[in-house]
Amino acid sequence: MFDTIHEECGVFGIYDKTGKTDVVRSAYYALFALQHRGQESSGIAVNDDGVITLHKDLGLVPEVFDEETLARLGKGTMALGHVRYSTTGSSQAANSQPLLVHHIKGAMALAHNGNLTNATELRESLELDGAIFQTTADTEVISYEITRARLVEGSIEKAVERAMYELKGAYSMVIMSPQKLIAARDPNGFRPLCIGKRDDAIIFASESCALSCLGAEFIRDIEPGEIVVMGPEGLKSIKTHCTGKNHMCIFEFVYIARPDSVIEGVSVHEARKKAGAILAKDYPVEADVVIGAPDSGLDAALGYAEASGIPYGVGFVKNRYIGRTFIQPTQNEREDAVRIKLTAMKATVAGKRVVLVDDSIVRGTTCRRIVGLLREAGATEVHLRISSPPFTNPCYFGVDIDSKDKLIACQMTIPEVRKSLGADSLGYLSIAGVRSIAEESGCDFCIGCFTGRYPVDPPANAYKSRFETKLSEKG
């Protein structure tokens, strides 16, 4: 019901050659920690002495896995896990990951987060060479590229290295071969990927929160362009594709990542608080309380409150029992829909001038209702502060932002947005502001969704969208 940015994907890999770690269960728990990155499908592949077994399906981790499926996966020395994001269009079981393929050198499982900008071209070229595709996921294109490279290279890591010359765009991936677990990140470093360690096990994960939940130690982020290989002989790094660039997606800090993750050396929680603090400086207001929109606006609200000296308050109670099977109110009860999920806290806002902080505005529908709930609960003024600049451009690197005609910032001026949302004032974080929220990282962040300027060229044929539809139409 809420209009939101669709998250993307989370990847996880673990390798313990001693066999002491229950790698399947570790993957299972880690995927819970990464579930916020994707709720459409979940999958785990396990490698037991070269034999790879896979279970994946549409659904959240607890929906896809139970004692029986975990038992069927059994034991092994390596496991690969993946959670995939949810959009309506391409919600199909075939696109679930990890992808398990068999090729001339054996089996290979891949889990990928990101978006290739030249997937269409690569696919066409492969098809002209007799390839068939069973999914619409980039992962299958990557599998082919690695497989083809493998025909002329002596090792899986060499094949990955060779294939990376072909791949354009964003990819943070983990690959499991019969003997090795390999993590690779695109040369721009759009998506995060880090290495951790617990006892004898080496772990790769999209975010450090997956390490924390396992009680593992964070080692370091994988560099943009780096290939890290964990095999029987230990850890090895290949840096052929490293260029020193780092165009990490700023939206990981704004919204996507879990607040307790640390990315490129910066705490996500702190970056959000800093965004709030900048807003407080740039858009000060006389008010009685600062509240955040749950859950994504809470950290920035705290930052705003601290910087402004206005007390922080709990503005809403979110119903934690509403899940996927919740029966939506019918059209004429729509007004109630937000109210059932979110209740404004009268004790906090009644008779008060309220600063409401949220991370972003997509269509504005939810934001408008939230402002309305505050008014109903007696707020005398509602000052809206957004901890990122207005969305005005598509993302080609793995985040599924809404279509242009649905984005409120593409349809209205900021004063119009303010009016449309019913707020007394509205302040968006500036471009300079968003650039600085994690500046200690030293990254030259990709902020293309705000500016339209991207670190690498967007795909040739403008907007990708319904890839599978186009394919079918050709037939």
**123-162 positions binding a copy of itself, by CB under 8 A:** 124, 127-134, 136, 143-144, 147-148, 151
The contacts of residue 462 (CB under 8 Å, 6+ apart) are none
CA distance 336 to 313: 24
Q: Which is nearer to a copy of itself, 107 or 409 (CB)?
A: 107
User: Closest approach of Cβ 159 to a copy of itself, in Å?
Assistant: 11
Pairing, β 289-292 against β 316-318:
unpaired
Q: Is 422 an interacting residue with respect to a copy of itself (CB under 8 A)?
A: no
CA 425, CA 403: separation in Å to the nearest integer? 26
Q: Is 414 in the site for a copy of itself (CB under 8 A)?
A: no
Q: Is residue 65 a contact residue for a copy of itself (CB under 8 A)? A: yes
Residue 235 in the binding site for a copy of itself (CB under 8 A): no
CB of 66 to a copy of itself, least distance (A): 7
Binding mask 159-198 for a copy of itself (x = CB under 8 A): ------------------xxx-------------------
Among 25, 162, 245, 418, the residue binding a copy of itself under the rule CB under 8 A is 25
Whether the CB-CB separation of 11 and 172 falls below 8 Å is answered with yes
Residue ranges of alpha helices (H) inside 392-458 are 408-411, 414-421, 431-436, 448-451
Q: Is 366 a binder of a copy of itself (CB under 8 A)? A: no
345 binds a copy of itself (CB under 8 A): yes
* Span of 247-255, 256-264, 380-388, 421-429 interacting with a copy of itself by CB under 8 A: 256-264
- The residue within the footprint of a copy of itself, chosen from 325, 405, 453, 462 (CB under 8 A), is 325
Among 6, 17, 75, 103, binds a copy of itself (CB under 8 A): 103
Residue 446, exposed/middle/buried by CB under 10 A (0-12, 13-18, 19+)? Answer: buried
Near a copy of itself in 35-54, by CB under 8 A: 35-36, 50-52, 54
The sign of the torsion formed by the CA atoms of 265, 271, 274, 279 equals positive
63 vs 457 by CB, closer to a copy of itself: 63
Query: Which positions from 212 to 231 touch a copy of itself by CB under 8 A, shown as an x/- string?
Result: xxxx----------------
How far, in Å, CA of 237 to CA of 184, rounded? Answer: 10
Burial class (CB in 10 A: 0-12, 13-18, 19+), 421: buried
Tell me which stretch binds a copy of itself (CB under 8 A): 4-12, 94-102, 189-197, 428-436.
94-102
**Does 336 help bind a copy of itself (rule: CB under 8 A)?**
yes
Which C-beta is closer to a copy of itself: that of 263 or that of 361? 263
Residue of 20, 74, 89, 102 that binds a copy of itself (CB under 8 A):
102
- Residue 151 vs 414, nearer CB to a copy of itself: 151
Toward a copy of itself, which CB reaches closer, 10 or 187?
Answer: 10
Cβ-contact 6, 87 below 8 angstroms: yes
Annotate 276-288 with DSSP letters as a single string. HHHHHHHS----S
Chain CA centroid to CA 24, Å: 22
Which position among 3, 121, 153, 260 is part of the footprint of a copy of itself (CB under 8 A)? 260
Which residues are identified as catalytic? Answer: 9
222-237 in b/e burial notation, b at 16+ Cβ within 10 A?
bbbbbbbbbbeeeeee
Amino acid at 152: V
Read off the tokens for 90.
């391409």
